[in-house]
Amino acid sequence: MSRTARSSRPRRSTSLTEETCPQWQVAFDPVAMNVVNRIAAGTIQVGSIRCSGGLVVEGRIEGSVEVVGGPLWLLASGEIQGKVTVEGDAYLMGTIHSAPDGTLSEVYARGVAYLCETLQAKANVTAQALQTFHGMLVYGKLRTFKQMQDEAAQASNAACAKPSAAPVPDAARASAPHQRVPELA
C-alpha cells in the first residue's frame, strides 16, 4: 500500500460538508470573515477573554468569551466552559462543557449558530437563527432570540395575571375597623 504525501502548508480556506445534506457547506475564510484571534491547540485560557475580530478556538477556554466584530469558530479539537457571547455567527464543532457544579454553559450568537455534526455541548444555545447538522449532541435548550422574548413575555403576562398577596398597610386597617384583616405570617 502506498501513501500519498500531502503538503503541510496552511490553507486559506477549509470546507466542512455534511454528508447527509450535501447542499449545506460552510467555508472558512479567515480574511473575509475578519478572524484575527486564535486559541491554538494545547493552549488553556483560564478567565475572561474579549476579542475584537473573529476567534478560532482549537485549545481550551475556561471562563467567559466575548467576540465582537467577527464570528466564533469552535473547531472539533476546541473546548469551552462558560458563557459565550458572539456578535456574529458561531460555528460550533467542538465541545462545550458545563460548569463543575453541573450548571449548563450559555452560548449567545447574534447571528446564526451552526451546530455541526461533531458538536458535543452541555449548554443552552440562543441565536438569531439555528442551523443544526445530523449527529450533533446538545444537552440544554436550543432557542432563537424571538423564542426567548416570547418566553419572557409569557412569564410577564403570567405574573400579571396572578392575584397579589401584598400585605395590607396599617393605615388601611385603621380606616376599616369593622373589617377583620388577617395577620400575615
| pLDDT, tens digit (0-9, with 9 covering 90-100), for 80-133 | 999 999 999 999 999 999 999 999 999 999 999 999 999 999 999 999 999 999
Instruction: Count how many Cα atoms sit within 13 Å of the Cα of residue 47 in the half-sphere of its side chain.
Output: 1
pLDDT at res. 26: 67
Q: Does the reported pTM lie above 0.85?
A: no
Q: What is the dihedral of CA 108, 111, 34, 50, to 10 degrees?
A: -20
141 exposure class (CB count in 10 Å sphere: 0-12, 13-18, 19+): middle
Q: How far is 166 from 164, CA to CA, in rounded Å? A: 6
29 lies in a domain?
A: yes
141 lies in a domain?
A: yes
152 lies in a domain?
A: no
178 lies in a domain?
A: no
33 lies in a domain?
A: yes
154 lies in a domain?
A: no
pLDDT at res. 126: 96
39 lies in a domain?
A: yes
pLDDT at res. 160: 72
Which residues of the chain fall short of a pLDDT of 50?
1-22, 171-182, 184-185
Residues 6 or more apart from 42 whose CB is under 8 A from it? 59
DSSP 165: -
Q: How far is 143 from 109, CA to CA, in rounded Å? A: 11
Number of domains forming the structure of the chain: 1
The residue segments making up the domain with residue 26 are 14-147
pLDDT at res. 164: 53
Q: Are 88 and 70 in contact (CB under 8 A)?
A: yes
pLDDT at res. 165: 54
105 lies in a domain?
A: yes
